[in-house]
Chain A
Amino acid sequence: MIEEHAKIVQFIGAANGITGRKKLQKMIYIAKKLQYPYKEKYEFHFYGPYSEELTLRIEELCNMGFLQEERQDKGSYVQYKYQMTDAGEHFTQMAQVPEATRDLVECINQMKDKSSRFLELVSTLLYFDYLPKEEQIEKLHVVKGKLNFTKEEIDEAFTFVMNLMNERAIQ
Chain B
Amino acid sequence: MSYATQKLAEEKVFKDPVHRYIHVRDQVIWDVIGAKEFQRLRRIKQLGTTYLVFHGAEHSRFNHSLGVYEIVRRIVDDSFSGRPEWDDSERLVVLCAALLHDLGHGPFSHAFENVFGLDHEYFTQQIILGDTDVNEILKRVSEDFPQRVADVIGKTYSNKQVVSLISSQIDADRMDYLQRDAYFTGVSYGHFDMERILRVMRPREDQVVIKSSGMHAVEDYIMSRYQMYWQVYFHPVSRSAEVILTKILHRAKALSEMGYDFEQQPTHFRGFFDGTYTLNEYLALDEGVLLTYFQLWMTEKDPILSDLSNRFVNRKLFQYIEFDLAKDYMKMKELELLFKKAGIDPEYYLVFDSSSDLPYDFYRPGEEGERIPIHLLKPNGEIRELSRESEIVEAISGKRRTDHKLYFPEDILTKDGKKKALKKQILDLLT
Question: What chain A residues lie within 8 Å of B368 (beta carbons)?
Answer: 20-22, 77-80
Does any Cβ of B come within 8 Å of A11's Cβ? no
CB pair A46 B372 closer than 8 Å: yes
CB pair A22 B369 closer than 8 Å: yes
In the bound complex, how far is the Cα of B157 from the Cα of A143, in angstroms? Answer: 7
> Would A53 and B356 be within 8 Å (CB), given that A45-B371, A64-B325 are in contact?
yes
Instruction: Assign chain B's interface to a size class.
Output: 20 to 34
Across the interface, A94 reaches (CB within 8 A) one of B156, B333, B355, B359, namely: B333
CB pair B156 A139 closer than 8 Å: yes
Question: What chain A residues lie within 8 Å of B404 (beta carbons)?
Answer: 60
> Would A1 and B354 be within 8 Å (CB), given that A47-B369, A50-B371, A56-B402 are in contact?
yes
Does any Cβ of A come within 8 Å of B282's Cβ? no
In the bound complex, how far is the Cα of B326 from the Cα of A84, in angstroms? Answer: 14
Across the interface, B367 reaches (CB within 8 A) one of A60, A78, A94, namely: A78
In the bound complex, how far is the Cα of B155 from the Cα of A44, in angstroms? Answer: 6
Total of A-B residue pairs, C-beta within 8 Å? 89
Of listed B160, B324, B325, B368, residue having the most chain A CB within 10 A: B368
Q: Is the interface of A mostly helix, strand, loop or mixed?
A: helix
Of listed A21, A46, A128, A139, residue having the most chain B CB within 10 A: A46
Which residues of chain A from 1 to 52 have any CB-CB distance to chain B below 8 Å in the complex? 1-2, 5, 20-22, 25, 41, 43-47, 50, 52
Does any Cβ of A come within 8 Å of B119's Cβ? yes
Does any Cβ of B come within 8 Å of A109's Cβ? no
In the bound complex, how far is the Cα of B371 from the Cα of A45, in angstroms? Answer: 7
Question: What chain B residues lie within 8 Å of A79 (beta carbons)?
Answer: 368
Question: What chain B residues lie within 8 Å of A21 (beta carbons)?
Answer: 367-370
In the bound complex, how far is the Cα of B326 from the Cα of A87, in angstroms? Answer: 8
Which residues of chain B from 364 to 406 have any CB-CB distance to chain A below 8 Å in the complex? 364, 367-372, 400, 402, 404
CB pair A46 B330 closer than 8 Å: no
Question: What chain B residues lie within 8 Å of A20 (beta carbons)?
Answer: 368
CB pair B370 A65 closer than 8 Å: no
CB pair A46 B160 closer than 8 Å: yes
- For B120, the closest partner residue in chain A by CB is A41
Does any Cβ of B come within 8 Å of A168's Cβ? no
> Would A66 and B353 be within 8 Å (CB), given that A50-B371, A52-B359, A142-B158 are in contact?
no
> Would A60 and B355 be within 8 Å (CB), given that A21-B369, A22-B368, A45-B371 are in contact?
yes
Question: What chain A residues lie within 8 Å of B333 (beta carbons)?
Answer: 94
How far, in Å, is A132 (CB) from chain B's closest CB? 15
CB pair A50 B370 closer than 8 Å: yes
In the bound complex, how far is the Cα of B368 from the Cα of A52, in angstroms? Answer: 14
In the bound complex, how far is the Cα of B398 from the Cα of A78, in angstroms? Answer: 14
Does any Cβ of B come within 8 Å of A112's Cβ? no
How far, in Å, is B245 (CB) from chain A's closest CB? 15
Does any Cβ of A come within 8 Å of B31's Cβ? no
Q: 0/1 per residue, B342-372, Cβ < 8 Å to A?
A: 0000000000111111010100100111111
Q: 0/1 per residue, A125-159, Cβ < 8 Å to B?
A: 00110000000000100110100000000000000
CB pair B156 A116 closer than 8 Å: no
How far, in Å, is A5 (CB) from chain B's closest CB? 7
Question: What chain B residues lie within 8 Å of A94 (beta carbons)?
Answer: 329-330, 333
Does any Cβ of A come within 8 Å of B171's Cβ? no
Does any Cβ of A come within 8 Å of B302's Cβ? no
Question: What chain B residues lie within 8 Å of A139 (beta carbons)?
Answer: 156
> Would A45 and B372 be within 8 Å (CB), given that A2-B352, A59-B400, A143-B156 are in contact?
yes
CB pair A52 B361 closer than 8 Å: yes
Question: What chain B residues lie within 8 Å of A128 (beta carbons)?
Answer: 156
Does any Cβ of A come within 8 Å of B219's Cβ? no
In the bound complex, how far is the Cα of B361 from the Cα of A63, in angstroms? Answer: 18
> Would A41 and B119 be within 8 Å (CB), given that A57-B356, A91-B329 are in contact?
yes
Question: What chain A residues lie within 8 Å of B332 (beta carbons)?
Answer: 2
In the bound complex, how far is the Cα of B353 from the Cα of A66, in angstroms? Answer: 17
How far, in Å, is B323 (CB) from chain A's closest CB? 11
Across the interface, B357 reaches (CB within 8 A) one of A1, A47, A55, A78, namely: A1
Question: What chain A residues lie within 8 Å of B119 (beta carbons)?
Answer: 41
Question: What chain B residues lie within 8 Å of A62 (beta carbons)?
Answer: 400
Across the interface, A2 reaches (CB within 8 A) one of B155, B325, B372, namely: B325
Question: What chain A residues lie within 8 Å of B402 (beta carbons)?
Answer: 56, 59-60, 63
Across the interface, A1 reaches (CB within 8 A) one of B326, B353, B364, B371, namely: B353
Complex A-B: 14 CB contacts under 8 Å:
A1-B352, A20-B368, A41-B359, A43-B121, A45-B372, A62-B400, A64-B325, A65-B326, A77-B368, A87-B326, A91-B329, A116-B369, A142-B156, A143-B158
A binding-site residues for B, Cβ under 8 Å: 1-2, 5, 20-22, 25, 41, 43-47, 50, 52-53, 55-57, 59-60, 62-66, 77-80, 87, 91, 94, 116, 120, 127-128, 139, 142-143, 145
Extra contacts besides A59-B402, A63-B402, A64-B324 (11): CB < 8 Å: A1-B352, A21-B368, A22-B369, A45-B155, A47-B370, A52-B361, A59-B356, A63-B400, A78-B368, A120-B369, A128-B156
B binding-site residues for A, Cβ under 8 Å: 119, 121, 154-156, 158, 160, 324-326, 329-330, 332-333, 352-357, 359, 361, 364, 367-372, 400, 402, 404
Q: Which 3 A-B pairs have the closest CB atoms?
A: A22-B369, A56-B356, A64-B326
